Amino acid sequence: MRHDRGRAGGRMTVSTGTIVLPAYFVKGEDAVVVNDAVRTLVDELVGAGDAALTVEDFSSDDYELAAVVDAAQTPPFFTDRRVVVARGIGRFTAEELAVLLTYLDDPLPSTALVLVASEGVVSQKVPNAVKKIGHVVDVSLRQAKDAKAWFQSRLKDAPVRLDASAAKAVADHVGDDVGRLVGLLNLLEGVHGTGARLTTDDVVPFLGEAGGVAPWELTDAIDEGSTEAALTHLHRMMEGGGRHPLVITATLHTHYTRMLRLDGAQVANEAAAAALLGLRGSTYPARKALAQARRLGPAGIRRAISLLADADLALKGAIDWPGELVLEVLVARLSRLAPRKRR
């Protein structure tokens, strides 16, 4: 988890040495990952105390922020602190958030207020207010490196110990649906016991259906000319990832449109390519697009665009094929455009 520390006026310290701040904002896109982060945070805040007496959790779809603020302003009873959790903050309007923002300007030191957002759009005023008095905990996994780091961290703190082969089997299986790891680890603990050391044979029976994969897994396999791997990733995107065929073709269209824009352009390096494509942040996607554009050449890029156009028409009813078949043919043909790497 990434923590952005704010000013820590009105701190408390629990028996474990954890500094308790007046407010926390936990955000991310994957609800399972976010809830796991909240559970870990609340456990740290409760420390050796009694969770039943310490924690008040608002998670229904119809609670009001006024009730949350009332709970946060209530002094602890039979405990030295209160932990108030408010989930689904993204559903509140700016007007409804006013009462919460007023509280955050002058919070009760004996309360740790945990605000949670995994969906919806939250006004930037909320994290900004929290930063002044507490922490923003960001478990967004937008990039592959973020997901990998979270995955490794979760394995390190897991109640069971997976050897290298078992960890790889799990990583390969869950793909980009890393949130599935939480439930899997709990299941393995229930079956094998806390602290159990597990091998691949211990883990495989509990993996279930393969999870989805990130879009770049598909495009990388296509670019490498690996038809078998590309088709495997395609199926996982549709089945485990639940992506609609038109969403996948849109991803592929973006991939090849970048190459088309770079083809013939006077770009000498990835920085220039990124500028031409309007990419911000990492220039790595531009480098990949530039390299593949050079590998395919003008004829290969034009052929790819033509194949995508045909697939788009087919998915919209031009031919009576199921969407899965249309994409399988498309991906197989695209992967064969790439010059094969010498072994």
Q: What is the CA radius of gyration of the chain?
A: 25
C-alpha to C-alpha distance for 14 and 17, rounded to whole angstroms: 5
Q: Count Cα atoms within 13 angstroms, Cβ side, for 108.
A: 19
Confidence label for 3 from pLDDT (cuts 50, 70 and 90): very low
Give the distance from CA 23 to its chain's centroid.
23
Q: Cα-flanking dihedrals φ and ψ of residue 111, to 5°?
A: -115, 135
Q: Which fold has domain 2-138?
A: Rossmann fold (3.40.50)
Fold of 215-335: Zinc Finger, Delta Prime; domain 3 (1.20.272)
Helix (H) or strand (E) holding 197: strand 197-198
- Dump pLDDT digits (tens) for 156-186: 888 899 999 888 888 887 776 777 788 788 8
> How high is the pLDDT of residue 232?
87
The ranges of the chain annotated as CATH 3.40.50.300 are 2-138
Residue 58 — pLDDT band, cuts 50, 70, 90? very high
**Interatomic CA distance for residues 210 and 241, integer angstroms:** 9
Give the global pTM. Answer: 0.55
Angle between helix 270-277 and 245-262 (nearest 10): 120
Least confident residue range of 57-71, 219-233, 281-295, 301-315: 281-295
Percent of the chain with pLDDT over 90: 34
Go through 138-157 and write b for each residue having 16 or more CB atoms within 10 A of its CB, e for each that does not: bbbbeeeebbeebbeebbee
Cite the residue boundaries of each domain of the chain with CATH code 1.10.8: 144-206
pLDDT at 322: 87
**CA–CA distances in Å: residue 72 to residues 107, 109, 133, 261, 322:** 8, 10, 15, 54, 54
Does the pLDDT of residue 151 top 70, yes or no?
yes
Architecture in CATH for domain 144-206: Orthogonal Bundle (1.10)
Q: How confident is the model at residue 338 (pLDDT cuts 50, 70, 90)?
A: confident
User: Concatenated DSSP letters for 89-109?
Assistant: GGG--HHHHHHHHHHHHS--T
Domain with CATH 1.20.272.10 in the chain: 215-335
